[in-house]
């Protein structure tokens, strides 16, 4: 297992390198002026900007291999450059936005995975019974509903009318506490930091602001997992060994938990892994609708404004994330299914 | 459409849930929601409105503008943009000829002398001194970052000989610094030489006043120093040095010149720290997310009424609408197309028809188009399938386009409830004293006149051969798209051989085409740096202007020959009536030459909760001046 993991980790830089080369090649389709546009968004600044000087200074006319080599040299020295779209260094942008996405992802992952797996297996067990029909409706509506529609509907109802769950990460009072010198920001994940500071007011306020985006995300995301788990469970329940287990007199609970569900989990694990990876990726629409300043929102803005340092930094991060997520999924396969040997 | 329907449906419910008489939320805090990224907190570096809005509340200048009030009960437009109405701020008196603090010398030079207020504290505890003022301006001049605002001081202080520091360096040292690229390599002796040349520009007198020395008259000089101009914000010298800034020595400044090449704001030592004399201190700046201010209780005037201000950057309109509707936000930025959703709602006050200070948008014709790699000009020939390079060289053709635009339709259909007004350039209407309102120099929609002009264009050849070109607009901007489509529709209606293809492109591509002079017609705008016609005639009608400089060789030559001398002449005299005559002449010439398409301007407006009072107004202000704001039902 260990040698397998190491071999997979060795592929990581190759994958990331390939993606970066691709982006660099695509960026060469832009003219130097287009690439400079990220620095000039205010027409007044055009007065004293000499584009030729800038092109020379940033090496935008240099051969592609030199541009890439210059950038790569900076990266391995920890310099990912400045993100105009975030108005801060790229590394600073990651440190600011990643905890936000991570908090959303962590809080959403549990309901998505547990809810999807539990509801999926339950609807398979109660096949064609009312519960199965209800979960089917939940899955279809969740899958069909665009995130922004679900989010906006939820926001209008639960905040606009009822005033329960406002957008943003914190209210005014909790924000003031977090800003103050009495509150230590350990991770940037507010709920976690609130626990570490033993401040339950901030924790409660953060959870209050998280409930709606988490529920929205869960509702639109667990459909796929639910249906995959249901289908896989149905197939597993028809297997001969399940019939044998029942015939041996085992309780239905034990048959489902110990024999059926574990085997049915394999395809669901793949989906769950990819889903969680995408959650950590950042979710543009959810973050925008609920005013969470996370990675997805930043990446979308960087793409719109041709913020090349930000895009390359984000690509690096994503490459690492996806490779690691796939590795974790493969390792979990081996844990779930003893027949799987990681060679 | 689904989104709009959802919004509309919920609006009634949301706002009905909060009828009049709602308790004032967060009485000690103002929450302002808007969008607009603050790029830097360094006054000498900052040239964007969002950053300027932060300077405006934390820092102060030598003088300030009178302001009116727009609040729930009253719209008081007693602001002024006249130099003579300026009020003292960190100076105790506004210099003028009458009080002897503005003196013109026989050699044509002018001095402005400012007595500095005593007993003013900076937020970090330092005392304001005249040396702080001198240092502030010297630091700014010696920093002069690329793309920055300090040309506004270099130009007047050098007697309009220069507008960039590198030009001063080149002249003083007799070298070529490649537009400042080699300034960082100057020796201490060279740096001292340059400093000696600019030292007299700002000095402290033996009596403790600060004197600005201009080599030639510059009528709007005081306006460039006034509060609202973030670049004139006064810094604490000792504090700046403690942050790692220039030590004030004559032979060391080059290390702080043009930090980050003007495109990396974080290279400035004041990028993310502030220490002003203003009514608010910076509590927190989270770039792109929020700015939080706390009241400064040691303020030299009466402390502000509101303790905390939270300025949140929220791009998503639905979030802003909901927060505003529930009263969790007090002042909201509303795009014109969303105004109907908030107007007339309980608890919301909307004030329309406020003056604005800009020419944004305006259309610019390009002469001598760059045909290289240009896919906007078709065949590049005088033929139905393209346009030649000299297409808009012909004034008749430009006038045809000017007559073909439906100005009133644009105001009615695009500007909507905000409304708009007709204007011509290059002087904005807000400068009443310099604006010629003669109806004869407006182009009005007249398809017959457009046709007549088109038939004269290029000796009649255009009418016979026809043309095709691509008209670009900046994506994400509804108004700009409609401008292009109006022109397309009306021009094509004149002659079946006329073809205009409208296409939206991102800002990056738009900028690229503009700079490389590929676009036959481009639309962009200018907001005032300071309230004087000079700030507009340069970008619109000077041969080296920000926009006019990109209008191709023929038009640039025309500007150089006919407009540059007038622009210089208007700055050489101080009598307002004489200056006005020159600007009137320029406006008449602009009509005759028709080098730009003068598009209607949107009216200003404000949207706030009904408990917000004391909301100061002056069209020059970058954003809310929180000092005068308080919350109450009145």
| Interface contact A44-B48, CB threshold 8 A | yes
Residues of B in contact with A288 (CB under 8 A): 315-316
Domains and CATH numbers, chain B: 2-18+26-78+275-355+607-631 (3.40.190.10), 87-225+236-259 (3.90.76.10), 361-527+595-602 (3.10.105.10)
| Interface contact B265-A54, CB threshold 8 A | no
| Interface contact A160-B328, CB threshold 8 A | no
| B1 pLDDT more than 60 | no
Q: Please, which pLDDT band fits residue A331 given cuts at 50, 70 and 90?
A: confident
Q: Which is it for the CA torsion A234, A240, A246, A250, positive or negative?
A: negative
For A180-227, write each residue's pLDDT tens digit: 999 999 999 999 999 999 999 999 999 999 999 999 888 888 788 888
Does the CB of B363 have a partner CB in chain A at under 8 Å? no
Q: Which residue of B has its CA nearest to A153?
A: B6
Provide the 3-class DSSP secondary structure of residue A118.
helix
Distance CA B385, CA B368 (A): 18
Contact B394, B573 (CB under 8 A): no
Residue A54: per-residue pLDDT: 77
| Interface contact A288-B315, CB threshold 8 A | yes
Residue B21: per-residue pLDDT: 46
Bigger pLDDT: A319 vs B579: B579
Q: Please, which pLDDT band fits residue A338 given cuts at 50, 70 and 90?
A: low
Distance from CA of A145 to the nearest CA of B (A): 12
Does the CB of B549 have a partner CB in chain A at under 8 Å? no
Encoded tokens for B249? 């020595």
Encoded tokens for A266? 């394999």
Burial (0-12, 13-18, 19+ Cβ within 10 Å), A63? exposed
User: Of A73-82, A163-172, B554-563, where does mean pLDDT reach its minimum?
Assistant: A73-82
| B577 pLDDT more than 90 | yes
| Interface contact A160-B288, CB threshold 8 A | no
Residue given tokens 């009049």 in the structure block: B20
The residues in B 520-539 lying below 8 A from A, measured between CB atoms, are 524-527, 529, 539
The residues in B 160-179 lying below 8 A from A, measured between CB atoms, are 163-164, 178-179
User: Of A183-197, A234-248, B513-527, where does mean pLDDT reach its minimum?
Assistant: A234-248
Residue B5: per-residue pLDDT: 62
Distance CA A133, CA A135 (A): 6
Distance CA A82, CA A91 (A): 8
| pLDDT (average), residues B358-372 | 95
| Interface contact A47-B151, CB threshold 8 A | yes
| pLDDT (average), residues B568-588 | 94
Q: Please, which pLDDT band fits residue B19 given cuts at 50, 70 and 90?
A: very low
Residue B139: per-residue pLDDT: 98
Q: Which pairing describes strands B29-34 and B331-332: parallel, antiparallel, or unpaired?
A: parallel
Contact B254, B224 (CB under 8 A): no
| Interface contact A38-B511, CB threshold 8 A | no
Q: What is the DSSP letter of B159?
A: T
| pLDDT (average), residues B564-569 | 96
Q: Please, which pLDDT band fits residue A26 given cuts at 50, 70 and 90?
A: confident
What value of ipTM does the predicted structure carry?
Answer: 0.84
Residues of B in contact with A205 (CB under 8 A): none
| B551 pLDDT more than 50 | yes
User: Of A183-187, B74-78, B406-410, where does mean pLDDT reach its minimum?
Assistant: B74-78
Q: Please, which pLDDT band fits residue B20 given cuts at 50, 70 and 90?
A: very low
Of B289, B512, B546, the CB nearest to A293: B289
Does the CB of B182 have a partner CB in chain A at under 8 Å? no
Q: Which is it for the CA torsion B288, B294, B299, B302, positive or negative?
A: positive
Does the CB of B316 have a partner CB in chain A at under 8 Å? yes
SS3 for B413-463 is HHCHHHCEECCCCCCCCCCHHHCCCCHHHCCCCCHHHHHHHHHHHHHHHHH
Residue B7: per-residue pLDDT: 60
Residue A282: per-residue pLDDT: 59
Residues of A in contact with B518 (CB under 8 A): none
Count of residues making up chain A: 343
| B586 pLDDT more than 50 | yes
Distance from CA of A42 to the nearest CA of B (A): 7
For A108-120, write each residue's pLDDT tens digit: 988 888 888 888 8
User: What pTM does this model have?
Assistant: 0.89
| B537 pLDDT more than 70 | yes
Q: Please, which pLDDT band fits residue A291 given cuts at 50, 70 and 90?
A: very high
Distance CA A223, CA B117 (A): 68
Distance CA B454, CA B462 (A): 7
Residues of B in contact with A293 (CB under 8 A): 288-289
Bigger pLDDT: B399 vs A102: B399
Q: Please, which pLDDT band fits residue B138 given cuts at 50, 70 and 90?
A: very high
Does the CB of B310 have a partner CB in chain A at under 8 Å? yes
Please tell me the CATH code under which domain A94-336 is placed: 1.10.3720.10
Domain range list for chain A: 16-88, 94-336
Of B178, B264, B547, the CB nearest to A82: B264
For B234-289, write each residue's pLDDT tens digit: 999 999 999 999 999 999 999 999 998 877 788 899 999 999 999 999 999 999 89
Q: Give the mean pLDDT of chain B.
A: 93
| Interface contact B508-A306, CB threshold 8 A | yes
Residues of A in contact with B31 (CB under 8 A): 172
Residues of A in contact with B319 (CB under 8 A): 155, 167-168, 289-291
| pLDDT (average), residues B441-468 | 96
Residue A281: per-residue pLDDT: 63
């Amino acid at each position: 297992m260990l040698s397998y993991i190491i071999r997979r980790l060795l592929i990581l830089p190759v994958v990331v390198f390939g993606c970066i080369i691709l982006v660099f090649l695509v960026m060469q389709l832009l003219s130097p002026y287009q690439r400079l546009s990220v620095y000039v968004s205010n027409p007044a600044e055009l007065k004293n900007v000499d584009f030729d000087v800038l092109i020379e200074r940033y090496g935008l006319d240099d051969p592609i291999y030199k541009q890439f080599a210059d950038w790569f040299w900076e990266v391995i020295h920890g310099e990912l450059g400045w993100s105009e779209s975030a108005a801060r260094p790229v590394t600073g942008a990651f440190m600011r936005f990643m905890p936000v996405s991570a908090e959303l992802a962590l809080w959403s992952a549990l309901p998505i995975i547990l809810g999807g797996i539990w509801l999926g297996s339950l609807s398979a067990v109660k096949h064609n019974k009312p519960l199965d029909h209800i979960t089917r409706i939940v899955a279809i509506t969740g899958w069909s509903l665009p995130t922004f529609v679900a989010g906006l509907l939820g926001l209008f109802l639960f905040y606009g009318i009822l005033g329960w769950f406002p957008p943003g990460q914190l209210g005014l009072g909790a924000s003031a506490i977090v800003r103050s010198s009495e509150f230590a920001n350990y991770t940037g994940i507010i709920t976690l930091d609130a626990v570490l500071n033993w401040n339950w007011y901030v924790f409660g306020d953060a959870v209050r602001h998280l409930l709606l985006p988490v529920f929205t995300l869960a509702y639109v995301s667990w459909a796929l997992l639910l249906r995959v788990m249901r289908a896989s469970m149905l197939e597993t329940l028809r297997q001969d060994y399940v019939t044998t287990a029942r015939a041996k007199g085992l309780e239905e609970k034990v048959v489902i938990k110990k024999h059926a569900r574990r085997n049915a989990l394999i395809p669901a694990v793949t989906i769950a892994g990819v889903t969680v990876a995408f959650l950590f990726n950042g979710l543009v629409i959810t973050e925008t609708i609920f005013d969470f300043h996370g990675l997805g929102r930043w990446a979308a803005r960087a793409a719109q404004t041709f913020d090349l340092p930000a895009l390359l930094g984000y690509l690096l991060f994503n490459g690492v994330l996806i490779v690691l997520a796939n590795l974790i999924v493969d390792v979990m396969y081996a844990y779930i299914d003893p027949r799987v040997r990681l060679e | 459409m689904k989104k709009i329907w959802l919004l509309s449906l919920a609006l009634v419910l949301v706002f009905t849930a909060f009828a009049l008489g709602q308790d004032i939320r967060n009485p000690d805090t103002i929450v302002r929601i808007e969008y607009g990224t603050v790029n830097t907190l360094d006054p000498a570096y900052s040239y964007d409105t969002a950053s300027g809005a932060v300077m405006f509340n934390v820092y102060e200048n030598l003088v300030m503008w009178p302001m009116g009030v727009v609040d729930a009960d009253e719209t008081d437009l007693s602001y002024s943009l006249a130099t003579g109405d300026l009020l003292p701020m960190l100076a105790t008196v506004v210099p003028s000829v009458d009080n002897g603090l503005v003196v013109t010398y026989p050699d044509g030079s002018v001095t402005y002398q400012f007595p500095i207020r005593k007993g003013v504290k900076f937020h970090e505890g330092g005392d304001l001194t005249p040396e702080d003022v001198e240092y502030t301006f010297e630091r700014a001049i010696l920093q002069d970052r690329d793309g920055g605002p300090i040309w506004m001081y270099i130009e007047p202080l050098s007697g309009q000989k220069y507008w960039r520091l590198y030009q001063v360096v080149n002249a003083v040292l007799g070298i070529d610094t490649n537009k400042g690229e080699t300034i960082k390599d100057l020796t201490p002796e060279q740096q001292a030489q340059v400093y000696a040349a600019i030292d007299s520009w700002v000095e402290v007198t033996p009596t403790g006043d600060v004197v600005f020395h201009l080599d030639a008259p510059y009528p709007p000089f005081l306006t460039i120093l006034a509060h609202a101009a973030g670049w004139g914000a006064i810094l604490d010298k000792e504090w700046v040095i403690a942050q790692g800034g220039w030590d004030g020595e004559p032979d060391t400044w080059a290390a702080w010149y043009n930090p980050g090449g003007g495109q990396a704001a974080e290279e400035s030592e004041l990028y993310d720290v502030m220490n002003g004399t203003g009514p608010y201190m910076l509590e927190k700046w989270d770039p792109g997310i929020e700015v939080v201010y706390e009241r400064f209780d040691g303020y030299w005037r009466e402390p502000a009424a509101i303790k905390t201000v939270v300025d949140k950057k929220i791009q998503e309109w639905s979030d802003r609408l909901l927060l505003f509707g529930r009263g969790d936000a007090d002042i909201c930025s509303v795009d014109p197309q969303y105004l109907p959703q908030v107007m007339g709602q309980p608890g919301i006050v909307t004030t329309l028809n406020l003056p604005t200070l800009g020419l944004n948008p305006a259309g610019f014709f390009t002469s001598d188009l760059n045909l290289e790699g240009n896919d906007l000009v078709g065949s590049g020939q005088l033929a139905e399938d393209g346009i030649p390079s000299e297409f808009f060289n012909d004034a008749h053709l430009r006038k045809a386009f000017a007559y073909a635009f439906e100005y009133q339709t644009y105001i009615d259909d695009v500007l909507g409830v905000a409304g708009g007004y007709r204007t011509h350039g290059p002087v904005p209407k807000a400068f009443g004293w310099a604006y010629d309102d003669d109806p004869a120099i407006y182009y009005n929609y007249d398809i017959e006149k457009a046709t007549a002009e088109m038939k004269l264009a290029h000796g009649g050849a255009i009418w016979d051969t026809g043309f095709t070109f691509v008209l670009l607009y900046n994506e994400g901007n509804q108004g700009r798209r409609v401008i292009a489509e109006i022109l397309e529709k009306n021009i094509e209606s004149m002659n079946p051989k006329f073809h205009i293809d409208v296409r939206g492109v991102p800002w990056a591509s738009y900028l690229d085409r503009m700079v490389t002079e590929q676009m036959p017609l481009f639309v962009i705008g200018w907001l005032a740096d300071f309230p004087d016609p000079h700030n507009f005639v340069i970008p619109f009608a000077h041969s080296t202007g920000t926009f006019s400089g990109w209008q191709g060789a023929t038009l640039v030559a025309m500007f150089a020959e006919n407009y540059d001398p007038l622009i210089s002449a208007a700055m050489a005299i101080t009598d307002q009536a004489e200056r006005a005559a020159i600007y009137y002449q320029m406006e008449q010439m602009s009509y005759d030459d028709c080098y730009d398409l003068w598009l209607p301007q949107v009216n200003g407006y404000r949207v706030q909760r009904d408990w917000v009072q004391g909301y100061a107004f002056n069209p020059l202000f970058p954003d809310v001046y929180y000092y005068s704001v308080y919350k109450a039902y009145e």
